[in-house]
Structure 1
């Protein structure tokens, strides 16, 4: 079903909207990048549980990032962003141990006491499908392979996917990908099989610092707002939330993030919008144009015959 342009603002519970009755609370992810240590346990756990093929060893020339992006074979991607130390932060500091959430931890850039390397920091973020409130991938799928679950998440049924690729171009985040030699679309399912059995998704279960948190979306949003307020009080004004606002261009995300810099730094679009938002208007205009052409043809035929 294509989105109603008048409904793309304000809070929406997508499961009842999709026809689920007595749906449970909407579930999702809150990823707090301020406590991510780049261990990639989430990537490994995701691959193991979902039987996602390995991509081989490829450092890509990008620090320790050996996956590079979300792909059909990487449903979680831990990004390593190396950048100069933010202005105004004292020399020898990239982030405080209490800020990282692990007392006594050595922040990136200070490992081994290498004060000479303290002029940069690493920003780490475990990226994933956003499970958008208004999901354009659902709108364009011609086979019904993509569907909205009772938990408000978006899942691909690989046995129904015909490999058309429409969902790939429709996704505003570039999340969905086709697997080589397969052709079908693949992405994070938010471990639909696990959460349906009352379990935590594999990535969140494996995260040693609780950077990836899973639960009812309303509770996660409250927790995230409190975390941002705490960081601001500790002198980290750059802390911000991304994907939490139900009034943004996709109606808010089912997987949202606490970032320490602009979204573009992490490879995220600053103002994502549901790519199918204008389709109802376009179809209406196309229909009116077709009617006008038909009327003109009829008038010409009647005029010519008389």
Structure 2
């Protein structure tokens, strides 16, 4: 097992051999303000020179990438839900909480949510009521059965840069390594294509390219970080859905954002991957979700897949000693 498995709350970099690392950096993705523009996907591909991954819609609404892979390091999921959202004549928009000047951008997160949940909207909650323009409201009903309720959940997925990264434990060449920022990076020139890290990832992030077998994934733009720049996807995000910074600060900001959404009548808002006591020790890229993790394709209770390796090696050693003792006893008995 790597020393990374025993990383404490101060972050995984010291346990990986960095005596005085910079603050641990990461992503906070606020899905409540994601508009599905895919600017993050495009910026990721352009900066990292990632090949295209096809141009088919895959039969999955507007999702032309489907999932993370060797040629998709950022994936924007489009989840269309048929569920009640309240009256169509009461639109509510929430102001995102972000560090940059794009805080003024509004993202429509639902219609009628305020009235349905008895939300208290106002400056004290960080939310703003937007009076709808009657001329721009959709006609009702919009379907033959009179249904007018529909919502989209959009989320930009990425490698989680786990605190306890199983991919590091199984890599035999050192291609995967922990950076001083606490992120996990693949060195493609060292990767031998063994593929051990692919099933080791609890999120199904790592993938092999078909032409050469090597693995590829998000590096959190390590080359940009070393130059003091933010990752390309966060730089391109127009709504601050993807926020980059010191992980501790992002967790505090995310907790405040959840409180704001709860006050605004969205009790389903919660954080995923922000808990340092979860099965992977907390993620370096975590999310604010508006539904259960499974809806977004996330495992509900991820665990580091190599957590049982020490016990397995101990059991293997004990079994080997037992077999050897049995052979010796049998050999000695045969000689007698």
Partner residue of 2:246 out of 216, 225, 249:
216
Name the CA shift for 1:30/1:249 in 2 (closer, same or farther; >3 Å): same
Residue 51 of structure 1 corresponds to 49
Task: Work out whether residues 92 and 110 of structure 2, in 8 Å CA contact, stay in contact via their aligned partners in 1.
Answer: no
CA distance in 1: counterparts of 2:206 and 2:51, whole angstroms:
16
Single out whichever of 91-100 and 34-43 deviates more from structure 2. Answer: 91-100
Once the 2 structures are TM-superposed, how far is the Cα of residue 273 of structure 1 from its aligned partner? 0.6
- Aligned-pair CA distance for 1:20: 1.1
Residues in 1 aligned to 2:106 and 2:172: alpha-carbon distance in whole angstroms: 53
Q: Note the C-alpha offset of 1:152.
A: 0.4
Question: Residues 167 and 205 from structure 1, CA distance in 2 versus in 1: closer, same or farther, beyond 3 angstroms?
Answer: same
How far, CA to CA, are the matches of 1:61 and 1:4 in structure 2? 40
Deviation for aligned residue 1:53: 0.6
Q: Report the equivalent of 1:123.
A: 153
After the TM superposition, which residues 1-306 of structure 1 pair with which residues of structure 2 at under 5 Å, given as runs?
A: 1-2=1-2, 7=6, 11=9, 13-86=11-84, 89-92=85-88, 96-98=92-94, 113-116=137-140, 118-306=148-336
TM-score, with structure 1 as normaliser: 0.92
The whole-number CA distance in structure 2 between the counterparts of 1:163 and 1:281 is 27
Question: Quick one: distance in 2 between partners of 1:285 and 1:93?
Answer: 65
The structure with more radius of gyration:
2
> Retained in 2: the 8 A contact 1:2–1:280?
no
Q: 1:81 touches 1:266 (CA, 8 Å); kept in 2?
A: yes
Q: 1:105 to 1:21 in 2, by over 3 A?
A: closer
Structure 1 vs Structure 2 CA RMSD: 2.3
Q: In 2, distance between residues paired with 1:199 and 1:104?
A: 26
Partners of 1:20 and 1:119 lie apart in 2 by 52
Contact 2:34 2:107 in 1 (8 A): no
- Compared with structure 1, are the counterparts of its residues 95 and 134 closer, same or farther at alpha carbon in structure 2 (3 Å cutoff)? farther
Is the partner of 1:96 in helix, strand or coil? strand
Looking at structure 1, the residues matched to 31 and 305 of structure 2 have their Cα atoms a distance apart, in angstroms, of 27
Take 2:287 and 2:90, find their aligned partners in 1: how far apart are those partners?
A: 20
- Residues 115 and 232 (structure 1 numbering): CA distance in 2 closer, same or farther, change over 3 Å? farther
Going from structure 1 to structure 2, the CA distance change for 1:273 and 1:12 (only over 3 Å counts) comes to: farther
Report if the CA contact (8 A) 1:83-1:121 is conserved. Answer: yes
